[in-house]
Amino acid sequence: MATRDVSPVPPRWDRTMQQRLARGEAAALGELYDRYASLVHGLAHRVLGDERAADAITRDVFAHVWEHPGTYDPKQGPLRSWVAALTHRLAVQRLRATETAALARGGPGSTEDLERKVRRASVAARADYIVQSMPAPLRAALESAYFKRRDYRQTAADLGVTEDEARRRLRLGLQLLATAQDAAAPGSRGTPPEIGGAA
Partner 1 sequence: MTEDPFHACDDPGHQARVPLPRDSVEDTGAPPPAPATAAQSAVQPLTLEHPVLKSLLGAWALAACAPEEAAAVEEHLDECGACADEALRLREAVGLLQRPESLDLDPALRTRVLESCLERRPPRIPVPEWAAAYDAETARLDALLQDFGDAEWHAPVRLRWYEADEAASRRTTVAGVIAHLMTVDGLVAVALGLDDPLGEVTAERPTPSARTEAYWRAAHFPPTRSVRAPWREQTHSLVRTVSFTGGQDARGGMPVQYGDFELPLHDAMLDRAFECWVHAEDIADAVDYPYDPPSGRHLHHMVDLAARLLPSVLQARRRSGLAAPAERRLVAAGEPGRSLRLEIEGSGGGEWLIPLDSPAAKGSAEHEVAHVALDGAEFCRLAAGHVPPLEAAAGQVGDREAIKDVLLAAASLSRM
> Which residues of the chain form contacts with partner 1 (CB under 8 A)?
1-5, 7, 23-31, 33-34, 37-38, 41-42, 45-46, 55, 58-59, 62-63, 66-67, 120, 123-124, 127-128, 131, 142-143, 145-153, 155, 164, 166-175, 177-178, 180-181
Q: Nearest approach, Cβ of 138 to partner 1 (angstroms)?
A: 10
Judged by beta carbon, residue 114 or residue 124, the one nearer partner 1 is 124
Judged by beta carbon, residue 52 or residue 75, the one nearer partner 1 is 52
In this structure, the number of other CB atoms found within 10 A of the CB of residue 190 comes to: 5
Q: Nearest approach, Cβ of 106 to partner 1 (angstroms)?
A: 26
Euclidean distance between CA atoms 172 and 170, whole angstroms: 6
Q: Nearest approach, Cβ of 180 to partner 1 (angstroms)?
A: 6
Euclidean distance between CA atoms 176 and 174, whole angstroms: 5
The single-letter code of the amino acid at 90 is: L
Q: Nearest approach, Cβ of 133 to partner 1 (angstroms)?
A: 14
Contact 111, 103 (CB under 8 A): yes
Q: Nearest approach, Cβ of 102 to partner 1 (angstroms)?
A: 22
Judged by beta carbon, residue 4 or residue 101, the one nearer partner 1 is 4
Contacts of residue 66, defined as CB under 8 A and 6 or more positions apart, other chains included, come to 21, 29
* CA neighbor of 174 nearest in space, from 131, 125, 116: 131
Euclidean distance between CA atoms 125 and 129, whole angstroms: 6
Judged by beta carbon, residue 67 or residue 109, the one nearer partner 1 is 67
Tell me the backbone φ, ψ of residue 105, rounded to 5 degrees: -80, 5
